[in-house]
Chains A and B, each alone.
Chain A
Protein backbone atom coordinates (compact mmCIF):
# COMPACT_ATOMS: atom_id res chain seq x y z
CA UNK A 1 0.00 0.00 0.00
CA UNK A 2 1.76 3.18 -1.11
CA UNK A 3 -1.01 5.58 -0.14
CA UNK A 4 -0.40 7.58 3.03
CA UNK A 5 -2.34 6.09 5.91
CA UNK A 6 -4.85 8.13 7.84
CA UNK A 7 -3.95 8.85 11.49
CA UNK A 8 -6.30 7.87 14.30
CA UNK A 9 -4.82 8.68 17.70
CA UNK A 10 -4.87 12.41 18.45
CA UNK A 11 -3.43 13.15 15.01
CA UNK A 12 -0.04 11.79 16.08
CA UNK A 13 1.44 9.39 13.53
CA UNK A 14 4.09 8.09 15.95
CA UNK A 15 1.39 7.31 18.51
CA UNK A 16 -0.45 5.32 15.83
CA UNK A 17 2.79 3.50 15.04
CA UNK A 18 3.24 2.59 18.70
CA UNK A 19 -0.35 1.37 18.98
CA UNK A 20 0.16 -0.79 15.88
CA UNK A 21 3.25 -2.25 17.53
CA UNK A 22 1.29 -2.97 20.72
CA UNK A 23 -1.43 -4.68 18.67
CA UNK A 24 1.18 -6.75 16.85
CA UNK A 25 2.86 -7.70 20.14
CA UNK A 26 -0.47 -8.63 21.69
CA UNK A 27 -1.16 -10.78 18.67
CA UNK A 28 2.22 -12.46 19.07
CA UNK A 29 1.51 -13.06 22.78
CA UNK A 30 -1.77 -14.67 21.75
CA UNK A 31 -0.14 -16.91 19.14
CA UNK A 32 2.32 -18.12 21.79
CA UNK A 33 -0.37 -18.56 24.44
CA UNK A 34 -2.53 -20.49 21.97
CA UNK A 35 0.49 -22.69 21.23
CA UNK A 36 1.21 -23.28 24.92
CA UNK A 37 -2.40 -24.25 25.58
CA UNK A 38 -2.37 -26.62 22.59
CA UNK A 39 0.89 -28.10 23.85
CA UNK A 40 -0.48 -28.66 27.36
CA UNK A 41 -3.64 -30.17 25.93
CA UNK A 42 -1.68 -32.58 23.72
CA UNK A 43 0.68 -33.58 26.52
CA UNK A 44 -2.29 -34.30 28.75
CA UNK A 45 -4.16 -36.14 25.99
CA UNK A 46 -1.14 -38.36 25.35
CA UNK A 47 -0.78 -39.06 29.04
CA UNK A 48 2.63 -37.38 29.28
CA UNK A 49 1.38 -34.78 31.71
CA UNK A 50 -1.60 -34.60 34.03
CA UNK A 51 -3.59 -31.39 33.46
CA UNK A 52 -2.87 -29.90 36.90
CA UNK A 53 0.80 -30.83 36.84
CA UNK A 54 2.08 -27.51 35.45
CA UNK A 55 0.04 -25.44 37.90
CA UNK A 56 1.21 -27.52 40.84
CA UNK A 57 4.82 -27.76 39.68
CA UNK A 58 7.37 -26.15 42.05
CA UNK A 59 10.69 -25.45 40.35
CA UNK A 60 13.66 -26.89 42.21
CA UNK A 61 16.58 -24.59 42.96
CA UNK A 62 18.42 -25.13 39.69
CA UNK A 63 15.41 -24.48 37.42
CA UNK A 64 14.23 -21.64 39.68
CA UNK A 65 17.57 -19.91 39.11
CA UNK A 66 17.30 -20.33 35.34
CA UNK A 67 13.74 -18.93 35.34
CA UNK A 68 14.82 -15.99 37.48
CA UNK A 69 17.74 -15.17 35.14
CA UNK A 70 15.42 -15.28 32.12
CA UNK A 71 12.76 -13.17 33.85
CA UNK A 72 15.26 -10.51 34.87
CA UNK A 73 16.78 -10.47 31.41
CA UNK A 74 13.36 -9.94 29.86
CA UNK A 75 12.59 -7.07 32.22
CA UNK A 76 16.00 -5.55 31.60
CA UNK A 77 15.42 -5.66 27.85
CA UNK A 78 11.91 -4.22 28.00
CA UNK A 79 12.25 -1.62 30.75
CA UNK A 80 15.84 -0.94 29.76
CA UNK A 81 14.81 -0.03 26.21
CA UNK A 82 14.74 3.64 27.25
CA UNK A 83 18.35 3.62 28.52
CA UNK A 84 21.28 4.99 26.49
CA UNK A 85 22.59 2.40 24.07
CA UNK A 86 26.01 2.22 25.75
CA UNK A 87 24.29 1.06 28.93
CA UNK A 88 22.20 -1.44 26.99
CA UNK A 89 25.29 -2.90 25.30
CA UNK A 90 26.97 -3.22 28.69
CA UNK A 91 23.89 -4.87 30.14
CA UNK A 92 23.60 -7.27 27.20
CA UNK A 93 27.25 -8.28 27.44
CA UNK A 94 26.93 -8.92 31.17
CA UNK A 95 24.27 -11.62 30.68
Chain B
Protein backbone atom coordinates (compact mmCIF):
# COMPACT_ATOMS: atom_id res chain seq x y z
CA UNK B 1 0.00 0.00 0.00
CA UNK B 2 1.13 3.53 -0.56
CA UNK B 3 2.71 5.62 2.12
CA UNK B 4 -0.09 8.12 2.32
CA UNK B 5 -2.80 5.54 2.83
CA UNK B 6 -0.66 3.70 5.33
CA UNK B 7 -0.08 6.81 7.39
CA UNK B 8 -3.76 7.70 7.35
CA UNK B 9 -4.92 4.28 8.45
CA UNK B 10 -2.18 4.18 11.08
CA UNK B 11 -3.23 7.50 12.49
CA UNK B 12 -6.83 6.37 12.46
CA UNK B 13 -6.08 3.24 14.38
CA UNK B 14 -3.87 4.99 16.90
CA UNK B 15 -6.39 7.74 17.33
CA UNK B 16 -9.01 5.11 17.96
CA UNK B 17 -6.87 3.50 20.62
CA UNK B 18 -6.39 6.77 22.44
CA UNK B 19 -10.02 7.74 22.12
CA UNK B 20 -11.29 4.43 23.43
CA UNK B 21 -8.96 4.82 26.36
CA UNK B 22 -10.30 8.26 27.16
CA UNK B 23 -13.88 7.10 26.72
CA UNK B 24 -13.28 4.48 29.38
CA UNK B 25 -12.68 7.32 31.77
CA UNK B 26 -15.96 8.87 30.82
CA UNK B 27 -18.38 5.93 30.88
CA UNK B 28 -19.53 4.45 34.12
CA UNK B 29 -21.57 1.51 32.92
CA UNK B 30 -19.42 -1.55 33.29
CA UNK B 31 -20.82 -3.23 30.18
CA UNK B 32 -19.87 -0.21 28.11
CA UNK B 33 -16.36 -0.29 29.50
CA UNK B 34 -15.92 -3.91 28.54
CA UNK B 35 -17.23 -3.14 25.07
CA UNK B 36 -14.62 -0.41 24.70
CA UNK B 37 -12.03 -2.98 25.60
CA UNK B 38 -13.25 -5.16 22.75
CA UNK B 39 -12.90 -2.20 20.43
CA UNK B 40 -9.36 -1.70 21.60
CA UNK B 41 -8.55 -5.34 20.98
CA UNK B 42 -9.86 -5.07 17.43
CA UNK B 43 -7.86 -1.90 16.84
CA UNK B 44 -4.72 -3.53 18.15
CA UNK B 45 -5.18 -6.46 15.82
CA UNK B 46 -5.73 -4.01 12.99
CA UNK B 47 -2.50 -2.30 13.90
CA UNK B 48 -0.65 -5.59 13.77
CA UNK B 49 -2.20 -6.40 10.39
CA UNK B 50 -1.27 -2.97 9.11
CA UNK B 51 2.32 -3.38 10.17
CA UNK B 52 2.33 -6.90 8.75
CA UNK B 53 1.27 -5.59 5.40
CA UNK B 54 3.95 -2.93 5.64
CA UNK B 55 6.74 -5.25 6.69
CA UNK B 56 5.52 -8.21 4.65
CA UNK B 57 5.82 -10.39 7.71
CA UNK B 58 3.74 -13.49 8.22
CA UNK B 59 4.65 -13.50 11.89
CA UNK B 60 2.82 -10.24 12.38
CA UNK B 61 -0.32 -11.69 10.80
CA UNK B 62 -0.19 -14.59 13.20
CA UNK B 63 0.33 -12.20 16.09
CA UNK B 64 -2.64 -10.17 14.87
CA UNK B 65 -4.84 -13.21 14.92
CA UNK B 66 -3.60 -14.12 18.37
CA UNK B 67 -4.24 -10.60 19.64
CA UNK B 68 -7.69 -10.58 18.18
CA UNK B 69 -8.65 -13.84 19.79
CA UNK B 70 -7.11 -13.01 23.14
CA UNK B 71 -7.94 -9.38 23.60
CA UNK B 72 -11.18 -9.09 21.66
CA UNK B 73 -12.81 -12.40 22.49
CA UNK B 74 -11.34 -14.38 25.37
CA UNK B 75 -10.51 -11.66 27.83
CA UNK B 76 -13.74 -9.74 27.41
CA UNK B 77 -15.51 -13.07 27.86
CA UNK B 78 -13.79 -13.59 31.18
CA UNK B 79 -14.67 -10.05 32.16
CA UNK B 80 -18.30 -10.61 31.30
CA UNK B 81 -18.27 -13.56 33.66
CA UNK B 82 -16.88 -11.38 36.40
CA UNK B 83 -19.57 -8.85 35.62
CA UNK B 84 -22.28 -11.44 35.87
CA UNK B 85 -20.93 -12.70 39.17
CA UNK B 86 -20.73 -9.27 40.68
CA UNK B 87 -24.18 -8.23 39.58
CA UNK B 88 -23.30 -4.55 39.52
CA UNK B 89 -24.21 -2.61 36.44
CA UNK B 90 -22.55 0.67 37.22
CA UNK B 91 -19.28 1.61 38.67
CA UNK B 92 -19.58 3.53 41.93
CA UNK B 93 -18.43 7.11 41.98
CA UNK B 94 -14.75 7.11 41.12
CA UNK B 95 -12.18 8.51 43.49
CA UNK B 96 -11.54 11.35 41.06
CA UNK B 97 -14.63 12.77 39.39
CA UNK B 98 -15.17 12.49 35.67
CA UNK B 99 -14.29 16.06 34.75
CA UNK B 100 -11.02 15.92 36.59
CA UNK B 101 -10.33 12.53 35.06
CA UNK B 102 -10.70 13.91 31.59
CA UNK B 103 -8.43 16.80 32.42
CA UNK B 104 -5.93 14.38 33.85
CA UNK B 105 -6.16 12.32 30.68
CA UNK B 106 -5.22 15.37 28.66
CA UNK B 107 -2.28 16.06 30.95
CA UNK B 108 -1.12 12.48 30.79
CA UNK B 109 -1.21 12.55 27.01
CA UNK B 110 0.96 15.64 27.09
CA UNK B 111 3.42 13.92 29.41
CA UNK B 112 3.49 10.95 27.08
CA UNK B 113 4.32 13.17 24.17
CA UNK B 114 7.05 14.93 26.13
CA UNK B 115 8.66 11.70 27.25
CA UNK B 116 8.55 10.07 23.85
CA UNK B 117 10.82 12.65 22.29
CA UNK B 118 13.96 10.52 22.39
CA UNK B 119 12.01 7.43 21.46
CA UNK B 120 10.81 8.98 18.25
CA UNK B 121 14.14 10.64 17.56
CA UNK B 122 15.94 7.28 17.46
CA UNK B 123 14.25 6.17 14.24
CA UNK B 124 11.88 8.80 12.90
CA UNK B 125 9.16 7.36 10.75
CA UNK B 126 5.41 7.45 10.53
CA UNK B 127 5.17 4.40 12.76
CA UNK B 128 7.38 5.68 15.52
CA UNK B 129 5.76 9.10 15.43
CA UNK B 130 2.68 7.39 16.74
CA UNK B 131 4.57 6.02 19.76
CA UNK B 132 3.26 8.63 22.18
CA UNK B 133 -0.20 7.14 21.76
CA UNK B 134 0.99 3.86 23.17
CA UNK B 135 2.58 5.58 26.15
CA UNK B 136 -0.49 7.69 26.68
CA UNK B 137 -2.69 4.61 26.81
CA UNK B 138 -0.29 3.09 29.35
CA UNK B 139 -0.61 6.14 31.58
CA UNK B 140 -4.37 6.18 31.14
CA UNK B 141 -4.55 2.55 32.17
CA UNK B 142 -2.54 3.28 35.30
CA UNK B 143 -4.86 6.19 36.03
CA UNK B 144 -7.90 3.97 35.76
CA UNK B 145 -6.28 1.53 38.18
CA UNK B 146 -5.66 4.28 40.68
CA UNK B 147 -9.04 5.97 40.56
CA UNK B 148 -11.71 3.35 39.93
CA UNK B 149 -13.25 1.42 42.77
CA UNK B 150 -14.80 -1.66 41.26
CA UNK B 151 -12.74 -4.84 41.01
CA UNK B 152 -13.66 -5.13 37.35
CA UNK B 153 -12.46 -1.60 36.70
CA UNK B 154 -9.13 -2.48 38.20
CA UNK B 155 -8.81 -5.42 35.83
CA UNK B 156 -9.88 -3.20 32.95
CA UNK B 157 -7.29 -0.63 33.93
CA UNK B 158 -4.64 -3.29 33.94
CA UNK B 159 -5.72 -4.51 30.52
CA UNK B 160 -5.63 -0.94 29.25
CA UNK B 161 -2.09 -0.68 30.54
CA UNK B 162 -1.20 -3.86 28.77
CA UNK B 163 -2.84 -2.73 25.54
CA UNK B 164 -0.78 0.41 25.65
CA UNK B 165 2.39 -1.60 26.06
CA UNK B 166 1.41 -3.88 23.22
CA UNK B 167 0.71 -0.85 21.01
CA UNK B 168 4.09 0.61 21.92
CA UNK B 169 5.75 -2.68 21.14
CA UNK B 170 4.10 -2.89 17.75
CA UNK B 171 4.84 0.69 16.83
CA UNK B 172 8.41 0.73 17.99
CA UNK B 173 9.72 -2.65 17.18
CA UNK B 174 7.08 -4.28 15.02
CA UNK B 175 6.50 -6.76 17.76
CA UNK B 176 8.93 -8.48 20.05
CA UNK B 177 10.45 -11.87 19.37
CA UNK B 178 7.82 -14.51 19.10
CA UNK B 179 8.93 -16.34 22.20
CA UNK B 180 8.46 -13.30 24.36
CA UNK B 181 5.16 -12.47 22.69
CA UNK B 182 3.83 -15.94 23.39
CA UNK B 183 5.09 -15.91 26.92
CA UNK B 184 3.62 -12.50 27.54
CA UNK B 185 0.26 -13.42 26.13
CA UNK B 186 0.08 -16.62 28.08
CA UNK B 187 1.00 -14.79 31.25
CA UNK B 188 -1.65 -12.19 30.55
CA UNK B 189 -4.32 -14.79 30.02
CA UNK B 190 -3.41 -16.66 33.17
CA UNK B 191 -3.28 -13.44 35.08
CA UNK B 192 -6.74 -12.40 34.09
CA UNK B 193 -8.06 -15.85 34.93
CA UNK B 194 -6.44 -15.54 38.33
CA UNK B 195 -8.00 -12.14 38.79
CA UNK B 196 -11.37 -13.53 37.83
CA UNK B 197 -11.11 -16.27 40.41
CA UNK B 198 -9.97 -13.76 42.99
CA UNK B 199 -12.79 -11.39 42.19
CA UNK B 200 -15.24 -14.24 42.65
CA UNK B 201 -13.66 -15.15 45.94
CA UNK B 202 -13.76 -11.54 47.01
CA UNK B 203 -17.41 -11.36 46.26
CA UNK B 204 -17.98 -14.50 48.30
CA UNK B 205 -15.84 -13.42 51.24
CA UNK B 206 -16.64 -9.74 51.42
CA UNK B 207 -19.95 -9.49 49.63
CA UNK B 208 -18.87 -6.46 47.67
CA UNK B 209 -16.42 -5.45 45.03
CA UNK B 210 -15.51 -1.94 46.04
CA UNK B 211 -11.77 -2.22 46.36
CA UNK B 212 -11.43 0.96 48.32
CA UNK B 213 -13.24 -0.52 51.27
CA UNK B 214 -10.76 -3.38 51.62
CA UNK B 215 -8.58 -1.93 54.34
CA UNK B 216 -8.24 -4.64 56.95
CA UNK B 217 -4.54 -5.16 56.28
CA UNK B 218 -2.87 -2.05 57.51
CA UNK B 219 -0.24 -0.72 59.85
Physical interaction between A and B: no
Residue positions of A touching B, CB distance < 8 A: none
